[in-house]
Amino acid sequence: MTKEEVIAAILKCAEQLGHTPSRPELAKYAGLTRHNIEIHFRTLKHALEACNLEIFGCGRRVEIDSLFRDWAGIVRKLKKIPTNDEYEEHSKYSLQPLRARFGGWPHVPSGMKRYAEEAGLTGEWADVLEVIDRQAQRKAASPLMSPPAIQANALLDRPMYGPVIGTGPMICGPTNEQGVLFLFGALAEQLGFRILRIQTGFPDCEAWRVVGNDRLQRVGIELELESRNFLRHGHDVKGCDLIVCWEHDWEECPIEVVELRKVIGTSGNRKIGKSP
């Protein structure tokens, strides 16, 4: 869809509903996917602003109880922890309140469980807590670091660090794009890359890539903390050859993705290749 078609679809949906449509309503009544919106506007907020529609809730802090009941309701409905896409499809909120409160999307389940226990909601939401526990058990089977014997509450006035990944030049996993840049630079030679240039424009990196004995090819690389940020930032997939990220959360990504989290998790048997 073109940008103009997206705007027209949003305005038509708003007229039919009599109010500013949410993301689920746009998907249900206008057939607009998250990709349709983000490829032109990056966020739903920007798309609504382009349509001169009122943005409900913008700038207001969402209380944790509302966030919990909304998120837990989605878990109960799906019978699993929602992905980024699933949450935005079913929730009336964006990802940002949960990311900001818990220091990143991967920490949301444990944070929600802690809140439920503190608020006395374990009985009402016992099935949701079971789903959280099952996911935690699966992750514990192959952790990047051993789980603590005592679950600690995060201090909101302190910075958050990533998981311990080794004793090399970077001992904690990245929590931002700059960390991905440093970690990729540390691993580049082992992964078959020879970096030529780092720039502030798109794509972030230009490198030679080893593709065979005595054979190199020049590639353009975009660095992201999460692969889906490529889409959120409005980049053109035709403008680079692959994405290097810490976490690959864009299943339908049309170009190659190198997920450093999995590279580190191979316990020294580091590999590179197309993500499934």
pLDDT tens digits for range 4-21: 999 999 988 888 877 788
Of 141, 221, 129, 228, the closest CA to residue 184 belongs to 221
The single-letter code of the amino acid at 60 is R
Length of the chain: 276
8 Å CB contact between 209 and 192: yes
pLDDT reported for residue 58: 46
> Beta strand pairing status for 205-212 and 215-226?
antiparallel
- pLDDT of 271 reads 42
**What pLDDT, on a 0 to 100 scale, did the predictor assign at position 106?**
81
pLDDT at residue 274 in the model: 38
H or E stretch covering 198: strand 193-198
**19, 24, 28, 193 from 9: Cα distances, Å:** 14, 14, 12, 44
Rounded Cα distance between 107 and 55, Å, is: 28
At 206 the pLDDT is 95
Residue 234, pLDDT score = 86
What is the rounded CA–CA span in Å between residue 63 and residue 41?
27
Instruction: Enumerate residue ranges in the chain where pLDDT < 50.
Output: 57-59, 266-276
Would you state the pLDDT for residue 225?
92
d(CA 255, CA 275): 9
Residue 55 pLDDT? 64
Whole-angstrom distance, CA of residue 119 vs CA of residue 18: 36
**Dihedrals phi, psi of 216, to nearest 5 degrees:** -130, 150
